Structure 1
């Protein structure tokens, strides 16, 4: 169906530069300057300029200004399109055919700085446009193949493959930033000691530690940063660990895997209704029946801890927490605290686990090469690679248990213990309590106690671990 042709002296201009940097490295502004000169030579009046910056025509992702230009051309805004080259307009045959359909019926001319005039109203002009489109498509695909091969080679050498600056390193991805590396290690230790991601992110914000883009950290963004294999000096390809990197690790691999195991533990992400809001919720034990205790409120509004299962016992929440915290302070202030609270963990053969992982990865690479060369069929590959992957997973699981930071580190013998305790978030305080003691709560004796008060400390039994 033919449409009323628009005024050929009215032109629209389209400029685009993609992330692949095709087009001689020209920026959008440079393209616009060249198109302005072309418009002056042809005596055209540019009525609108469309710009899509850092959007690839090859990728197939929407280009807002390109789509707006087609709609305006359909509405008869202009009779001429100006572009630096045809590959700035389209590199997809489907897009090209849509463009031809719009321009042919409306007799819209396409003038380019590098490819000259394209008359899409003639069979010859359309053939030339399609040939240029095929050539552009071929060049992009060839470029992608070269980039993919170069990336694989860099990954094989353990090199950084580019992208936004990773937190902890300069923009080259390999030069460490000491302040950020220290922050990563501190955060890993804090997570293993029981601190919440939110509290660590808040602390970073107060200290002026920002993301690589200058934003404030939140719990989610901090979690993503801590889970990155690059922190342990490991290169990732297609979402999988691909081998050791040439840059120095920010966090020891065993510690990093422990952090990952902890952060990925489903039990660490409770439902909103199950979030612990008090020191002893789920940790204090009912003396009579050994059920755990939970917090609640009486009819008067006073908060208490009570037996979850049988309602055997109920004690004032604030007084019980204060009593337990004083006991913690006393234990951590003892001269022999460092010896008594030595780290408790099963030894892990870190070097052995790392060597097993290295061997398993090498075997998987050999099996893949044999499959590609035809020396191994698919069934043989599945059987052999399954065993290697099982060894790899077992070694990773062993390493994830190698690091366990004692939650009382930094508290033992501290002269300002009350200040340091107050600075801890609730999750870290609960970790200290759980590490040090089991608190069994029995029913209080009625009436005034021997000390003249009504708080029955004798009904609280603390078992030190």
Structure 2
């Protein structure tokens, strides 16, 4: 009795998926395939010694590894099984590369048994192997055509604002249209808090304390930690303000972690609104995205260190009055009176390139700067003198024109007036300009929202702000805090602390 393997596969076993937790391992359609292969084995006089099951695993995607198919190849190579039974050639292979791997093994082992239940494929003959290659090629073309049609359909649905399938997004109920009773409010507060200075890391800590976990692939509640990237993705999701996005699966895979604000669907130059309830306004969402973008850019350019939350208020703001080098926070030695009383100080460190000529206790200096800032806030509330009006719409005309130019280039390519290569060059240049203008627009919206958020209650709310939120507020008005040298042993002298205000901020 010749030992052979039996290989079964279904791309998506929908019948079982809704009813069983282990739908990847078993399924009605797979079970039927094995039943038919058992009957074929009896007819051929061979014995099925191993079963290979790639249920819910497509064969036409080169990015997806079929584990049991790879195990089958190994077993055929080393002779553990001396043949393979399968239901139809398209269950076994749907790519020319996989067909060639199978054919090679049967060419090297002419006594191997390779038969299909349906379709008549016999891998022990040259004709059968040639047919497998042809069928795999045709199967690959069918997969490609199906993906193209699905992509076109999904893009059309996106342009009409229709909701797309997928797991329940954080902030919405199971119907994916109405808002979740508690999550939506937490998401709204987080989006509004980002432009005010709260960091993604601080929001993550708050959500973990509230017991929130990832909503996708949650197998065992309580075992998954909410990741920083997950929180950021929720905050920048255009869905929050009702915008519809579209990103083909192939591009999503290539982008790895796509920046979804760049994939908002536009029609006639305007964002397409989805058919679900929005959590915040487009302006509030844009302010949140622009703030996160600016923080990322500052880290890349070396203007800010990567941190999930700010610990010291004046880090990056305070400078040495002697050499202008940024002062760094520095803990006093434990056990000293200064450590017990103040905890930390700001110093011009020679190890980082400073002159070492200035050191000042931290808490008193921070308190003095905060008092000066709040005094200016009280003086300026209700006045707009000297403030330049922020116009976030100044790029809208150009953005609409870019969409028209992209359509014109595509039309010229279809009419064969320009080559594909030239069209792609023009389109990529226009898309780059569009992304940059959208980024600038979000920055303007963020500045406008932050200005609007300065309310008469700011001095009273100040105590409840985190260090990050306070720091953002200070940076909007204060350019630097110059700390001038003091004699050794002298008490803290406020006159040696100079606040340099941003022009127009005082």
- TM-score over 0.5 (shorter chain): yes
User: 8 Å contact 1:198–1:218 — kept in the other structure?
Assistant: no
Give 1 or 2 for the bigger CA radius of gyration.
Answer: 1
The CA deviation string for residues 168-193 of structure 1, in whole angstroms up to 9 with x for no partner, is 44567655546444433322322211
C-alpha separation in 1, matches of 2:415 and 2:90: 38
The residue number in structure 1 matching 2:327 is 293
User: 8 Å contact 1:255–1:400 — kept in the other structure?
Assistant: no
Quick one: structure 1 residues 289 and 359, their matched pair in 2 at CA, closer, same or farther if it must change by over 3 Å?
A: same
SS in 2 for 1:195: coil
User: 8 Å contact 2:5–2:51 — kept in the other structure?
Assistant: yes
SS in 2 for 1:315: strand
C-alpha separation in 1, matches of 2:405 and 2:34: 60
User: 8 Å contact 2:410–2:423 — kept in the other structure?
Assistant: no
The residue number in structure 2 matching 1:140 is 143
C-alpha separation in 2, matches of 1:261 and 1:255: 10
1:369 partnered with 2:362:
no
C-alpha separation in 1, matches of 2:166 and 2:385: 40
The CA deviation string for residues 214-254 of structure 1, in whole angstroms up to 9 with x for no partner, is 55433222223333344450423356443133415544334
Post-superposition offset of 1:99: 1.5
The residue number in structure 1 matching 2:317 is 283
The residue number in structure 1 matching 2:5 is 12
C-alpha separation in 2, matches of 1:287 and 1:55: 66
The residue number in structure 1 matching 2:259 is none
C-alpha separation in 2, matches of 1:151 and 1:145: 10
The residue number in structure 2 matching 1:412 is 458
SS in 1 for 2:215: coil
Indicate which of 268, 292, 304 corresponds to 1:263.
Answer: 292
Post-superposition offset of 1:203: 0.9
The CA deviation string for residues 354-381 of structure 1, in whole angstroms up to 9 with x for no partner, is 4543343234223322332235677699
C-alpha separation in 2, matches of 1:342 and 1:180: 37
The residue number in structure 2 matching 1:3 is none
The residue number in structure 2 matching 1:236 is 246
C-alpha separation in 1, matches of 2:132 and 2:365: 82
Quick one: structure 1 residues 402 and 36, their matched pair in 2 at CA, closer, same or farther if it must change by over 3 Å?
A: closer
1:203 partnered with 2:206:
yes
SS in 2 for 1:148: helix
User: 8 Å contact 2:299–2:305 — kept in the other structure?
Assistant: no
Quick one: structure 1 residues 85 and 341, their matched pair in 2 at CA, closer, same or farther if it must change by over 3 Å?
A: farther
The CA deviation string for residues 382-408 of structure 1, in whole angstroms up to 9 with x for no partner, is 679967974774465134212232586
User: 8 Å contact 1:329–1:417 — kept in the other structure?
Assistant: no
Quick one: structure 1 residues 342 and 201, their matched pair in 2 at CA, closer, same or farther if it must change by over 3 Å?
A: farther
1:317 partnered with 2:351:
no
1:245 partnered with 2:272:
yes
**1:340-379 equivalent positions in 2, closer than 5 A:** 346-351=388-393, 353-354=395-396, 356-374=398-416
Judge which range, 27-36 or 377-386, deviates more. Answer: 377-386
User: 8 Å contact 2:37–2:87 — kept in the other structure?
Assistant: no
- Aligned length, in residue pairs: 442
TM norm structure 2: 0.71
C-alpha separation in 1, matches of 2:331 and 2:393: 52
Post-superposition offset of 1:338: 8.5
The residue number in structure 2 matching 1:429 is 470
Quick one: structure 1 residues 281 and 94, their matched pair in 2 at CA, closer, same or farther if it must change by over 3 Å?
A: closer
Unmatched runs of 5 consecutive residues or more in structure 1: 1-6, 449-453
C-alpha separation in 2, matches of 1:125 and 1:434: 73
The residue number in structure 2 matching 1:99 is 102
C-alpha separation in 1, matches of 2:143 and 2:430: 40
Quick one: structure 1 residues 221 and 337, their matched pair in 2 at CA, closer, same or farther if it must change by over 3 Å?
A: farther
C-alpha separation in 2, matches of 1:200 and 1:221: 11
The residue number in structure 1 matching 2:91 is 88
1:398 partnered with 2:441:
yes
The residue number in structure 2 matching 1:30 is 28
User: 8 Å contact 2:197–2:469 — kept in the other structure?
Assistant: yes
The residue number in structure 2 matching 1:53 is 55
Post-superposition offset of 1:13: 2.0
SS in 2 for 1:296: strand
Post-superposition offset of 1:66: 0.7
